[in-house]
Amino acid sequence: MQAAIVFIIIFIVVIVVIFVIPKIAGPLIPDGFGLGRDTQKGAQVVFKSDDGGLTWNGLSNLPDISSGKDNLLFAIIDDQNDKKIFVSFLGRGLYLSEDMGETFKLISNEAVGLGQESTVYKLVFGKNSGQRSIYLAVFSNGLGSIIKWDGKDFFERIYLAPVNNIGVFSLAQNPFNDDLYAGTAQGGFLVSENYGISWKILRWFPGAISTIEINPKNGIMLVYTNERKLFRSSDNGRTWTEVTSNLNKLSSSARDIKTIIFHPSLQSTVYAGTAFGLIKSEDNGLTWSLVRTIVPPQFLPIESVAFSNQNRNLILLGASSQVHRSLDSGDSWNAVQLPTSKRVGVIIVNYNNDKIIYAGIR
């Protein structure tokens, strides 16, 4: 009798863990997605500067943010039209402005799970048999998926996670052969060689894959997981070398990476914003050095880094509620306080006019 009771209790616990808790909590979410910081209802979450970051004004036409789960995930400028800006919120959908942030509209398509309660973790401007496509990593109704969108009215789900409550957190497209890469919450690194028609696994990484970055000049790839491990590939993701130990040579806190970005003008240079500060590699992520900034230790981590396509010496970074700017490749800096107490989690620079800068808070 006692054995039967114990079995029933264990069975109930297993059911709750597998089916009930994920429905309440949502998908496993890696570090770096802005959780745990409440945002006041109606507060401005994206700011715009028209003078190179000296002064800032809030954009007021985005949805009200009422709780920590609704934080900003990313903002990105359309690669073919700099008037278009996409902004994504955790659990609140994807929004598009076609007038440089003056107004925003929700991107919605019920058939593929895009709507006001969905989460778009990543947006990639890419190709599809020579035609332009936008690829979205979406979590909606307990399902992780990848959606292909023509930027107008056509939406197609090209990947569906085989397990409920497992999200796709990262996406990238190889600029040299058009292969699509996806990173999942289970650590799966997937590739499609036919624009999403079929997929195969290349590797299982330890922990959720929060970042996939590809150097557009030579194809070197970096993958970062929520286990705070960094990996590097030079053969289109077929083989990998872990380079985490080189971060440890700086500090254990250098492993706490918030953002990774390749410099758009330099062949082998990549920067990372970390809990240790701004770090830089000039050999595609093999070795790293600290960039001296004026960010006080209590303002760390650095959560956002951005560059200009017009001025290779301009570096912008977000630390606490400030935007720091260098005009000489990081030798000297000045800082501007945004009209907020929240952390600057996103910075993007207009590629046609680097006086126009956007900063998003988390």
pLDDT digit string (tens) for 70-92? 489 999 999 999 999 999 999 99
Tokens of 112: 């593929």
pLDDT at residue 2 in the model: 53
Distance CA 261, CA 284 (A): 11
Distances from the Cα of 39 to the Cα of 59, 200, 361, angstroms: 15, 39, 9
Is the model's pLDDT at 61 over the cut of 80? Answer: no
Closest CA to 298 of 320, 279, 317: 320
pLDDT given at position 43: 61
Sign of the alpha-carbon dihedral angle for 40, 43, 45, 49: negative
CA torsion sign for 61, 33, 14, 206 is: positive
**pTM listed for this prediction:** 0.86
Render pLDDT for 295-348 as a digit per residue (tens, 0 to 9): 999 999 999 999 999 999 999 999 999 999 999 999 999 999 999 999 999 999
- β-sheet with 278-281: strand ranges across: 257-262, 270-274, 278-281, 289-290
Backbone angles phi, psi at 330, to 5 degrees: 100, 5
**CA atoms in the 13 A half-sphere facing the CB of 311:** 17
